Every structure is written in C-alpha cells, then in structure tokens.
Structure 1
Amino acid sequence: MDCSMTSSVLSANYNTVLFEFGVILVTSKILYALLRNVYQPRVFSDLLLGIILAQFRVLSITNAINLVFGKIGGFIFAPYLFALGVEMDPFSLLDSPAADAVIAYAGIASTCVLVTLCHGAITSTSRTHTGIVHERSLRAFLGLAAALANTASPVLTRLATDLKIAKTNVGRLAVGAGITSDMVTTLLIALGSMIWRDSDADAAAPFAQPALTASVLAVVVMSAFMSRAMADWVDGRNPEGRRMRGFDLSLVALVAATLCWFISVLRLDINMAAFLVGLAFPSDGRVSRLLVSKINFVLSSFVLPLYVAHVCLSLRQTTDDIEVAGLKPDEGLRAYVMQLPFPWWKVFLATSMGTLGKLVGCTGVGLLRGLGWLEALALGMLLNVKGYFHIYCALAAFEAGIITDKSFMAIIFVVALNVAVTPMVGMGIASWARRSVQWRLMGLQHHDPSTELRLVAGLRGPQEVPTLAFLMESLRWGAGNGEIACYAVDMVQLTDQTASSIVKSGGLDGVTVVDEEVSEMRKLIGEALDAYRAECGGEGGKVKVRRLLALSSFPDMHSDMCICAEDAMAALILVPFHKTQCLDGTMDGGHFGFRLVNQKVLQLAPCSVGIIVDRGLGKQHRPDSTAQASVAVLFIGGADDREALTLASFMCKQRASVRLTALRVVQNATAQARAKARTSLFESKSKRHMPLAATTTGQEELQARADDKFFAEFYRKHVAGNKSVGYMEKHVADGAELVAVLRGMQGDYRLFVVGRGRDRNSVLTEGLEEWAECLELGPVGDILASSDFSTTASVLIVQQYDAKKHYKVIDEEFMPL
C-alpha cells in the first residue's frame, strides 16, 4: 500500500482511529489497576490486552491502527532505548566486577552456552518443519542468545519496589545484576546491528563498509562530550532549588534526537542509535534524571500500550503457514496466526533455554557467594524476567525474516508467561526474608537500656524534621550511652509519574525516584537531618540517621514501614498525624491517604507506634537550645499508657531540654461507685456465661495491679528525690471532668504524651469515643489533637506493641503485662 492510499485511509477514519486508541489506553489502565493487586507489572496488562485484541478482533479497523504504527513503528521504540541507555553507566564495565556484575556475567555466559548446545534444534531444517530461527546465520544465532540472556531491568526494578524486596540481600543483588545484564546484552545487540546492517547486500562480507562503522563509533564518542557539555550548561542555567525550564529540557531532547538521526544516516537502526546515544549521555545529574522521568511517563502512559497492541495485531500468516494449515490463500491472508495450531514446543523450548540458562549460571555463582539454595534459585528466576525490549526484538527479528510467524507468536507468549510468573518468585523471596529475621518483643517497655535505641520515623516533608530531631534528642539518653539509630523513611506516593522515574540506587533503598519534586523534597529532608547531626547529635557517632524510601500506593505504604521496623528490630515507629496545622492555628482536613497509612501501621506494626500531632514543637524548642520544653505525660491505665510512661521515662534523663510532669488521673468516689455498678450489671447479665464474666473481671484486676505496680516503680526511679520531674494527681468523675482538667493544662505544656488506650476499660473515658473524629488516636488523643484544644501544644499518641500477634495465646492470664 503506497503513501497516498495510507493517507486516504487514515483521513477517512481518523475519528475511529482516535476512538480505538482511547479504548486501548483506557482498557490498559483498567487491566493494570486490576492486575496490580497481584503484583503484575504494566507490561503484562499491555500484553494481555494485545493478545485479546489479536485473538477476538474486538476493534473494527485494526488495519488502520497497523497503518499508523507501520508509518512510525520504525522509530517509536527509540525514546525507550534512549532512556534505558541514560540510566546505565558504561564505565562500570571497566571496573573490577562486583558481586552483582559477576552474577550477571554468569547468567549471560550460561545462557549463550545453552543456546549453542541447542543450535541444531532452534534453526530451520525444512519448509514443513521450522525451528525458532528461520535464518541459518551467525547474526540470527547471536541475536537469539543475547535476547534470551537479556534481563528487563525496568520491569525488575519496578517489581522489587512493589514486592518490597529491594532492601533484601537477594533483591539488591537482583536489581544490580539485572541492570548490568540489560546493559551488556543490549550493547551486544546494538553492536551486532552495526556490524550486520548490510548483510543482505553483501553476505560474503559481514564487516562491510568499516568506514561507516568507525563513523558511528566516532559520533557516539562525540555524543558523550556534547551531551555532558550540554547538561552542564543547562544545570548552570537552572540552579538547584528552582524548577527546570521547559525550554532547556526540550533543547536537550532536541540535541539527543539530532544525534540519533545523524547516526541513523550512517545506516544504523534508529532504535539502536538511540540506545548508543543514551549510553553516551551522563547518567547522573539533574538533567538526566528529569529527562528520563518525563520520557518514561509519556511512554508508560500512552506509547507502550499502543505499541504492544500493534505488535500483537501484527501476527499474520505467511504463505508457508497457509499451506501447512490447509487453508485457502484468500482465507489465510485475512487470518490471524493464532488460528493456526499453537506452537507449544517452541514456547517450551524458548522458555527452557532462557530459564535454565539463567538458573544454572546465577544459581552457581549465588551459591559460591554464600546464598542458600532457595535464594540462589530465586535470584536466577528474577534475572530471567522479560519486558518491552524482548517484544521489540521479536518484532524486529520477524520483520527482518530471521524468525517465522509461529516463532514470533511463541516469543510473545513466552514473554507474557515469564512476566506473569516472576512476581510469585518475588513474593516467595519476601516471605523467606521475613522468616529469616529472628523475632523478639519490640517496644520501649521491652527495650534493653544497655543497647542503642532504634526508631523508624516516617516523613512527608522537611517541615517535620525539627520535631523529629527534638524527639530523637529527648529519647536517646534513655538508651545505652546515648546511642540512637533513626531510620528516616521518606513517604512518597506511587503514582504513574513517580513510577516512570524509578531507577536503580546504590544505597540501602535498592531503587530511588528521579522525579524532580520528589528529589527536591528528599534533598531538603536530608539537609535538615544533616543539620541536626551537625548541631547536637554527631559526637562520637552515637547518633545514626539512615535514609530510606517508602515508595508505594497509600493502601500498601504501611508495609514499607513495618518491614523496615522488623528488619531494623526497632522499638518504636513514629508517623506524622494526617492533619497539619494551618496559619490560624487550626488543623486542616488532612490527607485521607496518610490517615489510611497510620491506621494500618497501628494495626500491623511489629513494635510500638507513636503518632505525632505537630504544632511547631521542633521550631519552638531546637535540640541545641538551652530552653526547656514542658512535657506532660498522662496516665489513666492500660498497656498503652504504660508504654507512654516508659517513653516519658526516657525523656527524664534529658534534663537539659525537657521538664517532665507526670499526671496520674484516678477515679474519685463518684467514679468508683459507677465502676462498681457497671461491674455488677455486667455480671448479672452474664449469668449464663459465668466463665466469660470471670475472665473479664480477672483481666481488669490484673491490669489494675499492673498499672499500680508500674507507676509506683516509675515514681520511685524518676520522681522521688528528683526536683526536675513533677508529679500531679487528679481525681475526676467522668470524661467531662477529664476534658476540663486537660483544657486547664493546655497553656502550660508544649508536648502531651498519652496512650492510645485500646484495652483501657475505664469509666473516665466512657462516652468520649462517641464524639471522637479520629478513633485511631483513642478518646484522649482525639481531644488533644482537635482544633479547639490548643494551638501550641503538640501531642504524641503512643500504642504499645501487642505481643498476642505473634504468640498463640490460649489464656489471657499467661500473657505478660
């Protein structure tokens, strides 16, 4: 079909084409949203949609879609390969190989050896019996070996993020080895396309026109100098802290596109040229991060779903397959290849070669590196993951006549099957990693005072660092010799834009986000934490702050926090309240996503939890200030109040910056009478269930005795004979009097420490839950966090770790209090 006919078809049907494009994009997003719940990456939802379209021909004018991508399909994959090249550092190949690089090389070598051994079975032998490769040539053999040995590093990095395995030993090795494997094999394919680009014209001389090859290499070297100079110039025009100018970023993209076009003029494939230019582009720097983020966002949101649909719709029959199938020529020309007998043996052979090759090499090296059998096998399975690049290679090989239609279809199904199975391996790794951590009771009450105190703190922005610094400085002297380790977790919502900017990181995160806004936020948080350590906490290495990233959707972000606390064996998780204080002193409506995170952390945390309602505590009282902050701890009773009192006891030792007052609220005569009447009424209604009533009453008595004993010990250690710690006792009758007592204290203290009161069954808080707006704070914490309480008093609501989550409790009486 000539260009005029193509243009006329598109002109007549452009409305329908746009509608079909919209249907494909919307359906792809819906499928991804559904399959994401089982940790399937975006490439699987795109492939599934493409296979459905190719099988059932749901859309009416798929010919028009193929015509559109037939015109632009030759260079549609170039931006993807350019962004892939920018994320890679080719100079790392010149360094002495690290553990992840050795694993990558072993996987590549073993896969190539296996393809060599199966060379006879994978090449064509006759017209009626075809192997995977239709062309018997060194080009076809090496191309298949490199494609099977390739690891889709963007897919693997995203899976490591979603499955929370990026911080595990296997996860870090897999991400590092994946990007090395991807870089080496893609570079080999690019060099092969450079060498054999004229093989059809001059088969006797595969190294034809060496001058053109040398010219391509010279342009790539020139691209390295030009791109670095361009990036430095743009960085100078856009200093840190200012938003990047759109014109400058567009200029960089235009220069990169011009270099790619210039290389393609030298008769090299435009897509491979884009990869080489990206590889020559500096991988670090603000320009590179932002350029990769923007390109990946556009590709994942719009281009790649349409490209995969085009690839799947390109599965057509050839004349040979028509004759084998016994179809008439006119039927075959309109038939899809999926109507032919499915090439199961090709799918099995291609899957076996790729999987066994990775398993043999990676497992062997993993065992030599000290991994267990299961972990080494899982590492090999993760490095075998396929992605968009394999789909591109399959289409390019099919259009070049290297593979047949059935082989093309088999490879597409291999990629889909491989991507669907890999998340299961990741979930297995996460399960093994969790079980390998030796569990112990984690909480402030169970903390060994001779060891360092470990905290996990969630941060939404740099404005929350001052209060965290104050709490760290106040608590660390309750640990052994003032040692504290804080795992500062940046809480970042995983959106399509942030997902497109995920790249490998060299730190503990395993991966990081190069989006400009996220990078700027993390930079400001880091500067604030560094300032705290420099001012007052850095002496002798006693204060350790480790930076981590919780990159998840809000329903899953709690998992990052809990996994971090479990791995670090932390005693306390600190998370910010989902509401923040406005300029007029009131609390805003809050963010529902962060509220959901807090609720799930309270429910599933492996240690104690503290929710911070910040009203400028850190700004009013800096850790290096000589002024004392007035802190009040409220004790009514229950496990959470005992944990809050333990936290306050840690603060007692920091007398330079904290003046603590312990307030114990007890029942007056009226409240005691109401409590006795309530107990009598409960027992009378439970005559038919006397064991239950006896157990409940017994637990209340045990809790009361534990409260008295615990507070008496606190008084003996920290209040008696200590003028720096105050003590007050208030006798109240009900919740109204309790609220009145708290309101009378609101102007005297800058921080209230209270227990959440999950298991508290006191007449003093009866009825307060009915008026509570945020039940996750408990009845007292909700009152203190409300807008009409105070504009200057911050609140720390504490929940003690519930050991019953890990113990199989037969009788409550055997639980430690």
Structure 2
Amino acid sequence: MNINQTIFASTTLLAAPQFEKQLRVYNVCIHQPLSIISDGIWTDIGTKPSQSTFTLLELQIIVIFLVTQAFNFPLKRLGFPHFVSQVMAGFLLGPSIPTGPLEKYKKMLFTFGTPDILNSISSLGYAFFLFLNSVQMDLSLITKTGKKAWVLALGSYFIPIICGFTISNMFTPSLESAIGIDETSNLAVVFISHSACSFAVVSSLLNDLGIVNSELGRLALSSAFVTDISGGVMTGVSIAIVSSIESGFSKILKNVIAFLAYVLVVPSIGRPAMKWIVRNTPEGRRVNKIYIDAIVVAFLLLGYSAKFFNQPFLVGAVICGLAVPEGPPLGSELVHQLEIYSTWFLSSLFVTCCTMKVDLTNFAPIYLFLVISCFIAMVHLVKLLLCLGVCRFCNMPSIDGLCLALILSCKGVVDICSYILVYDGMRQSPQAIGVMILSVLVLGTTSRFGVKSLYDPKRKYAGYQRRNIVNLKHHTELRIVACIQKPSHMLHIKNVLELCSPRQDNALVADVLHLMELIGRSTPIFIAHKLQQYSSGTCNYSGEIIVTFDLFEHDHVGSATVNTYTAISPMSLMHEDVCHLALDKNAAIIILPFHVKWGVDGSIELEDNNIRSLNSKVLERAPCSVGILVNRGPAGFNSTSYDVALIFLGGSDDREALCLAKRFVKNLDNRLFVYRLAAYNHDSTNWEHMIDDEELRGIRGAYMKLENVTYEEIIIEDASQTTTFIKEIANKFDFFIVGRRNGVRTTQTSALENWTEYSELGVIGDLLASSDMETKASILVVQQQQTTPVS
C-alpha cells in the first residue's frame, strides 16, 4: 500500500455464511501497536499521520464538514433543508456516489473500521440531541391538546398502520413471490415508520418556515407531539416483544412491564426533583452547574439501564428529557450548555455517518422498489384524506388540511437515524433501507416546498375591513393592543392608556400583551391571564404586569377594561402574536415600544434591534393602525394632566393621529395644541388637502371653543424652517403625537429624508427622537391601517 498505507494494512472481503445473507465478513490485517497521536509530517521516523487514529478522526471530521458546507451553499439558496446537505455528504463520502480517481483517497480516509470510531462519538451527540428535543417538549400538551389535534394525531398514526397490515395480509402470497419472504415480513417496518411523525422534525420545519406560532403551526405541533409520544410508546413495546420473542412469553411480559414502568416512573420521580431545582434557583440567576452535571449523569445512567429490558440507549435520553421542565431556568440552561456540542456538531456528523452506510449503487430490484413506494404512498394518502376530512368537519379551509397533511408527512434527521438503526439491527435489507432513505429526502423537501407555497400566514390580515380610529363612531369604545417586552415599557404604556382619557362616553378596552422570547422549549405559549387556571404547578408569567393593569382597571371602573396576555414565541415570529391578537380583538390601533432606551442625562442607554425588527414587521402587516411609543425620559411622564402637541402636515397618518388626539382632550385637564405646518405654495384643490381641511374643520370649529384645545397654522417654506420650529417647541410639551407619513414627500420635509436615522418613525418622529433634539417628552408616531399589507 506504500504511502497510502493506513492503520489497516489490508482488508479482504470473504464469502458470508449462507445462513446470514446480510452479513459481510472481512479478513483484516492491522498494524500493532496502534498509534493514537501522529509524530508529525516533518519526522523521518515514527508513524505517518494516516496511521494514527486521532489524526485520522480529525481529518474525517474536517472533510465531512467541508463537503457538507459545499452542498449546503447552493442547496440552502434553493430552499432545501439543512439535513439534505448532510445526507448528500454521506452519499458522496460513502459508496453511493463513485468519485472516480478520488476513490482511493476516500478509501484511505475512511478505511475499514475507522468510521466506527466516528460513529461511536457522534452517536453520543445524537443521544444528546434527542435529550434536548425532549427537554423542549411541553408535557402539559397532553392535557391541553384539543379534540381536533387528538383525532389528527391518533388517526394519522394508527389508521395507516391498520391499512398497511390489511393490505399486506390480503396480498401476502403475491408479495412473497414478487419480493421474497424476508422482505414481505419486513414491510411492517416501512408503513409503521412512515405513519409515525417526529416532533423535533415538525418543530424544525415550522420554525424554518416561520409559522410555528400560527394557528396551523400550533395545531400541527400539538398533533405531532401526541403522535410522537404514541409512536414512541408503541415502538418501545414492539422492541420489547420482538427482542424477547425467542425467550418465551414470560420474558416478553417482563420486558413490556419494565418498559412501561420505566416510562411512567422516571418522569414521576424526576419531574418533582427538577422542579425542586427550579425553586432553589434565585430568579434571574443561572442554574447551579452541579445540578446540570447531575442531570447529564442521570441521563447517561438511564440510557445504560435501558439495556436491562432490551431497550436502546436512546430511550433513556428521551425519557430523561421529558422529566425536565421546559423553558427557563432549567430547560433553557441545558439547551444553552449542550446545543452547540450536540445539535450543531456531533449529531450532524452522525447523520452523515449513517448515510455513509447506504449503498445506492446496489439498486433495489424493481418489484421491491415499487412495493415499498406503494406502501409509503398509501400511508401519506391516508394522512392526506384524514386531514382534509377533519378540516372540512371543523370548517377549516381545505388548503389548511393539505398543508397539515404535508407537515405531518415531513421526514428529517430523526427518521434517517432511525432507519439506519433498524438497518444495523438487520431488520431491513440494504436495498430496502436505500429506498426508505430516498423517501426521507423526497418527503422532507416536498413538505417544505409545498407548505411554503400553499400557506401564507399573512393572508388573514389581507381583508379590507376598516380597523382604525378615523372610522370609529363618535362614542364608540377605543380598542387598543399594547405590547410590553421589558419592565421599563410597563409604566410608559400605562401612561398612554391614562392619556386616552377613559370615561363613560370615551370607553377604553386595552389588551396588554407581554412578549417573551421562546428559550428552552419547542412549543410557543399564548396565555390569557383572566382565563388562566392557577395551580401549584403553574408558572405565573407576567405577575407584575397583571397587578399593574388590574389596578389601572380598578381606578377606571366602568370606563376601562384591561385584559393581560403573555405570548412566548421566537423573536423572529413575535409579530404574528401581536397581529393575531389585534385581529381577534378587532383593535383600532397597536401600541409598540420604541427600541431605544434613553438614560437620565439624555444619552442612549440601550438599543435592542430585536424590538426594532418586531416593530418593522408589525408596521408591514398589521390589520389595524400602529403607534410606536418613544420615551425620551428615563421613566416617562407621571401626571394627571398633560400638555400634548400634534404636528399636522397632512395625509392619512396625520389624520389618524388627529382623531386619537381628540380622544385625549375628553379629559379637560389635558391640553392639546394642534400645529398645522402648511406649505407656502400648497394646492388647495388637491384631494388629500381637501380631506385634511375637512378633518381639521372640527378643531377650528367646535373644538376651538374648548379651553383645552389650541389650533395654529404655520406657513413653512422649506425643511430648515420645519427643523427650527420643532426645536422651538421641543421642551414645551409632555407628549407629541405625529403621523409617520411613510412615502409622503412634501416641501416641508423633503430635505430631511436623507438624514432620517429611524425610518419607522417617519421624518418628524425621527427629528424629535434624534440625539440633537433636547427634549424629555414622549412621542407617539402613528401609521394608519394599510388596506393591503405589504408582503
């Protein structure tokens, strides 16, 4: 072998025993003693790098990641999921894709036996991957899941299995003559595995598509959770039976009872112990590292103990993970500590190592390929019909039923690894496993592309119903959705509600939404606190916010109604919760906090780009008007009366701001100053200008008779005069309200557009919020509802 010599001097494939057709027997010559670490490439003596196990392992890992990224670079841009790149890397580095002149180097790098070392290490990472996915599952979904999700979950799992057994029993003689007795007996693995649905795979798909907290996403997650738990229990019982079938009925019964006891006892004991850890962790502090280490040790011991009743090590990982309370502080800390090591490093290696075992050059016979394909198609056709039927019965759109079927049919990393574990146990032939791996690629990609093209979560906001303040009748209640992300936002939002002057003829209904980032759990949460049933085991989210706004409602009894909610979802998808609540509650305006926090001295103390991204997304697709609240002072304004200035240039946003300002002065202690900045050469016949004049007529007429309303019209020739005027009044008021006027160009502001730092505030709002403007006033920037949301 000369310079290509590795730690194995030669390998020779021998004939397998006739009674074991799936076995391959090798005669292996190996260098002894084995070298762990190379002496280096610059020495004339010692071992070559390719003859040391650790160096070869490092080279294998490097090559796998390079090849995976080479596939991922184009495939990601085409919309393929990441696991496809891992699978393709396995095909290329394994026997499935011949590499011509590079074949000898591939054999030198992955010589006989060395992938087993990589497999052993990466399989531990896969066990941690399953453990973390179980940690992020919410066990309470079992009791919270509605009838619809239960019907979908159990139906989509058991009905295809029943159909599969029925068909295979009906055509057993024909199948045995076509594909053989062994393959026919193993067909059950095909339709049972394809009937199952992995919660981790579905959660990953929904997160990638950005619909995890949509109505469809929540239903799919609940269904996938029930299916995964049901499938896991059924698989465990099946393993206990099959592995003990030769030992007699008593052994089967013993293993089944031991497995069921394992499933019930470990969470029953582990869950209270984990909650004790949570209770003994101070609020806002990280969990003690001793507890994290103890949980990891327990996870390893549970995996080891599973072998005593013939269960795989991975069962311990799943059961131990389910015992851990999801979310902060414990679940999130485990995810934080282990995710990069397991999910992004070792488990990705494991997927590639698994697919390196598949040999697609050893094509399956045409009849075997057709039979397996037909059973797979049957399973997913039954799922499709079931989902369509349930959605039709529940008056859901048929397109949602089709998307739901695609989601529940999705396959991914967990399925690939499960099939290879079945192959390692010699429960399937190499040809059958090759077909099943290809089916994972097909189903994983078609599900992703299908749902992405068919389901648009923005479509529910695309109605043409007017949801704004301008179109509210005079004495109609004002419905507001107010969002809070940080404790500092709470007082500012409360003050804005106070400014809205709730009274009998100016009623206020506020839905206060506390937005929290989803950490350490897979399932988004939406809690209506007035409907929440508290118990000793229930987490009390948003306690301070609930108390604050309950007191506000008590202070304005009969004129203000406040409902508090908590939404826990990924930062990138929080806008869905905001828009959905506004749509559901028929809100006229959404109030969002600005992403910049100012210090006492007027300097910028904190900028949160996640909040800014949320605000931009809500502005794009909100089903009603939107207001962004900017607070220049450290604690907002605290008073029973406010001096409010409205800067009016014209346009729909300014008219929306004017209608909101009119509600402020229902409290006679508040004073409103309306400044209309008119261009010196304005066209009085312009339609928009005529609408502005009509809207201002009330301010100049009836409202001017009120002592707390002042109207002034100022002629502005250019943007510099606008800047000068705003600087003059910046310190005279407690509160400014302006329109965003997005895309509206006028002579009063055109020269300022190129200097705008925060486009979501518009020109005037940005000018008031700039660091050059010395003011302690709060600013509300209003955008009227866009009839057709921007996609």
Cα separation, partners in 2 of 1:474 and 1:240, compared to 1, 3 Å: same
Paired position in structure 2 for 1:615: 632
Question: Once the two structures are superposed, what CA deviation does each residue of 1:41-86 show, in whole Å capped at 9, x if it has no partner?
Answer: 4434433443444444678323476222343466554334434444
The partner residue of 2:352 within 309, 317, 325 is 309
DSSP-derived class of the 1:705 partner: helix
Indicate the structure with greater helix content: 1
Question: Once the two structures are superposed, what CA deviation does each residue of 1:578-619 show, in whole Å capped at 9, x if it has no partner?
Answer: 4332453123684556555545554554443323322237x3
DSSP-derived class of the 1:628 partner: coil
Paired position in structure 1 for 2:567: 548
The partner residue of 1:705 within 669, 673, 690 is 690
DSSP-derived class of the 2:732 partner: coil
Q: Are 2:83 and 1:43 equivalent residues in the alignment?
A: yes
Paired position in structure 2 for 1:649: 662
The partner residue of 2:722 within 738, 745, 749 is 738
Cα separation, partners in 2 of 1:548 and 1:230, compared to 1, 3 Å: closer
Determine the C-alpha separation between the residues in 2 that align with 1:758 and 1:387: 43
| Identity in percent | 22
Q: Are 2:267 and 1:224 equivalent residues in the alignment?
A: yes
Paired position in structure 1 for 2:672: 660
The partner residue of 1:192 within 216, 238, 241 is 238
Paired position in structure 2 for 1:530: 546
Cα separation, partners in 2 of 1:569 and 1:581, compared to 1, 3 Å: same
DSSP-derived class of the 2:342 partner: helix
CA contact (8 A) 1:566 1:606 kept: yes
DSSP-derived class of the 1:580 partner: strand
1:110, CA displacement in angstroms?
1.2
CA contact (8 A) 1:176 1:504 kept: no
Determine the C-alpha separation between the residues in 1 that align with 2:308 and 2:375: 35
DSSP-derived class of the 1:726 partner: strand
Paired position in structure 2 for 1:333: none
1:385, CA displacement in angstroms?
1.8
Question: Once the two structures are superposed, what CA deviation does each residue of 1:746-789 show, in whole Å capped at 9, x if it has no partner?
Answer: 22212211123346554333423344334443332222111121
Cα separation, partners in 2 of 1:775 and 1:401, compared to 1, 3 Å: closer
Cα separation, partners in 2 of 1:382 and 1:596, compared to 1, 3 Å: closer
The partner residue of 1:405 within 415, 420, 430 is 430
Structure 1, 454-463 or 429-438: larger mean CA deviation = 429-438
Aligned positions of 1:193-272 closer than 5 A: 193-199=239-245, 202=246, 205=248, 208=251, 210-211=253-254, 213-272=256-315
CA contact (8 A) 2:620 2:789 kept: no
Root-mean-square deviation (CA), in Å? Answer: 4.1
Equivalent position amino acid for 1:180 in 2: V
Cα separation, partners in 2 of 1:661 and 1:358, compared to 1, 3 Å: same
Determine the C-alpha separation between the residues in 1 that align with 2:159 and 2:644: 64
CA contact (8 A) 1:752 1:794 kept: yes
Paired position in structure 2 for 1:175: 221
Determine the C-alpha separation between the residues in 1 that align with 2:371 and 2:364: 16
Question: Once the two structures are superposed, what CA deviation does each residue of 1:162-198 show, in whole Å capped at 9, x if it has no partner?
Answer: 4344455443322211110111011111122223223
Aligned residues between the structures: 729
Equivalent position amino acid for 1:172 in 2: R
CA contact (8 A) 1:347 1:414 kept: no
DSSP-derived class of the 2:149 partner: helix
Determine the C-alpha separation between the residues in 1 that align with 2:505 and 2:368: 66
1:365, CA displacement in angstroms?
3.6
Equivalent position amino acid for 1:193 in 2: I
Cα separation, partners in 2 of 1:99 and 1:467, compared to 1, 3 Å: same
Determine the C-alpha separation between the residues in 2 that align with 1:5 and 1:653: 92
Cα separation, partners in 2 of 1:274 and 1:604, compared to 1, 3 Å: closer
Paired position in structure 1 for 2:733: 749
Cα separation, partners in 2 of 1:164 and 1:458, compared to 1, 3 Å: farther
Paired position in structure 2 for 1:326: none
1:459, CA displacement in angstroms?
4.4
1:270, CA displacement in angstroms?
1.2
Aligned positions of 1:387-536 closer than 5 A: 387-427=412-452, 430-431=455-456, 434=459, 438-448=463-473, 451-457=476-482, 459-475=484-500, 477=502, 482-486=507-511, 488=513, 490=515, 492=517, 501-503=521-523, 505=525, 526-536=542-552
Paired position in structure 2 for 1:112: 161
Determine the C-alpha separation between the residues in 1 that align with 2:342 and 2:701: 66
Q: Are 2:791 and 1:778 equivalent residues in the alignment?
A: no
Equivalent position amino acid for 1:398 in 2: Y
Aligned positions of 1:8-407 closer than 5 A: 8=34, 11=37, 12=52, 14-25=54-65, 28=68, 40-54=80-94, 55-56=96-97, 60=106, 61-63=109-111, 66-72=115-121, 76-87=125-136, 98-119=147-168, 130=179, 134=182, 140=186, 143-199=189-245, 202=246, 205=248, 208=251, 210-211=253-254, 213-279=256-322, 286-288=329-331, 290-291=333-334, 294-316=337-359, 337=362, 344-345=369-370, 348-407=373-432
TM-score under structure 1 length normalisation: 0.77
Structure 1, 245-254 or 283-292: larger mean CA deviation = 283-292
1:308, CA displacement in angstroms?
0.8
Equivalent position amino acid for 2:553 in 1: G
CA contact (8 A) 1:551 1:557 kept: yes
Determine the C-alpha separation between the residues in 2 that align with 1:803 and 1:427: 24
CA contact (8 A) 2:241 2:255 kept: no
Equivalent position amino acid for 1:635 in 2: F
Paired position in structure 2 for 1:519: none
CA contact (8 A) 2:479 2:586 kept: yes
Cα separation, partners in 2 of 1:476 and 1:387, compared to 1, 3 Å: farther
Question: Once the two structures are superposed, what CA deviation does each residue of 1:337-381 show, in whole Å capped at 9, x if it has no partner?
Answer: 479989752562243032023223343344333434443333233
Determine the C-alpha separation between the residues in 1 that align with 2:777 and 2:521: 39
1:90, CA displacement in angstroms?
6.8
1:405, CA displacement in angstroms?
0.8
Cα separation, partners in 2 of 1:429 and 1:775, compared to 1, 3 Å: closer
Determine the C-alpha separation between the residues in 1 that align with 2:728 and 2:504: 33
1:152, CA displacement in angstroms?
1.6
Aligned positions of 1:720-739 closer than 5 A: 720-739=704-723
DSSP-derived class of the 2:523 partner: strand
Equivalent position amino acid for 1:348 in 2: S
Structure 1, 216-225 or 262-271: larger mean CA deviation = 216-225
CA contact (8 A) 2:484 2:512 kept: no
Determine the C-alpha separation between the residues in 1 that align with 2:548 and 2:215: 30
Determine the C-alpha separation between the residues in 1 that align with 2:737 and 2:142: 54
Determine the C-alpha separation between the residues in 2 that align with 1:436 and 1:602: 12
Determine the C-alpha separation between the residues in 1 that align with 2:171 and 2:348: 30
CA contact (8 A) 2:213 2:569 kept: no
Determine the C-alpha separation between the residues in 1 that align with 2:322 and 2:754: 62
